[in-house]
Amino acid sequence: MNSRQPGSGATTLTYDVSDNRVDVVMDDGARSSLWWATKNEWLGLIDVSGIELEALYGDFERGPLTSESREYVFVTRRA
């Protein structure tokens, strides 16, 4: 899926959801790729790191994590 940033005229974003990647292409040809980790990947990393998950929120205002959430906010502490 491609999209242009409204009003910027300088960036095209291509989303590859199956690869957890966003490709950013500027009109001048500069390129960059961004990858994200899934919630389960983060939970696995937390588990093997030996830290304890205290809370998981859907935003930085401590809102509940729902299917509509656009963020994961993990609160952890050393075990």
Q: Tens of pLDDT along 44-57?
A: 999 999 999 999 99
pLDDT of residue 1 exceeding 60: no
pTM of the model: 0.64
- Report the C-alpha gap between 39 and 72 in whole angstroms: 7
For the residues of 17-73, what is the DSSP string, one character each?
GGGTEEEEEETTS-EEEEE---HHHHHHHHHHHTEEEEEEESSTT-PPP-TT-S--E
Q: Tens of pLDDT along 2-46?
A: 555 555 556 888 999 889 999 999 888 889 999 999 999 999 999
- Report the C-alpha gap between 31 and 10 in whole angstroms: 12
